[in-house]
Amino acid sequence: MILTDLQGVEHSLADYRGKWIIVNYWATWCPPCLEEIPELVQFHDEHKERDAVVWGINREEIPLAELKIFVEKQRISYPLFQILPDSVSPLGPVQGVPTTYLVSPKGEVVARHVGLVTVRKLEEFIQRHLNK
């Protein structure tokens, strides 16, 4: 899976091998999505240098300039990408937002969560899959 971020830089899941990747599908109009952004920022900032990163994938038709302003106001520090709402996810189904996938350091999808996530929940997902 290769995506281009809001600054035009390409990112591939393969580029992050060896780290957990939290892939979060979201939209600016979604209240639970807005509620989890600070949690995702905190998780990303605490883990990015060690063992995990967050990818945010915006699933709505919103002008890029407007999305960039939103991202700046929310102080989102993790890579963000934009796809159309009807785009198919190579990770699995996304029937609503927020939907979050956990990709292992080997590049395998190991969990999917529909609804709000927190730092604690993300760390529990990773711990649970480390113990398998």
The fold adopted by the segment(s) 20-130 is Glutaredoxin (3.40.30)
Provide, rounded to the nearest whole percent, the portion of the chain with pLDDT above 90: 87
pLDDT at 2 exceeding the cut of 90: no
Domain positions in the chain are 20-130
62 burial level (CB within 10 Å; 0-12, 13-18, 19+): middle
Q: Tell me the chain's radius of gyration from C-alpha atoms.
A: 14
Q: What is the pLDDT of residues 36-88, one digit of tens each?
A: 999 999 999 999 999 999 999 999 999 999 999 999 999 999 999 999 888 88
- pLDDT of 130 reads 83
What would the mean pLDDT of 86-106 be, rounded to a whole number?
A: 92
Helices (H) and strands (E) in the chain, counts: 3, 7
- pLDDT of 87 reads 83
Residue 129 corresponds to which tokens in the numbers above?
């899959």
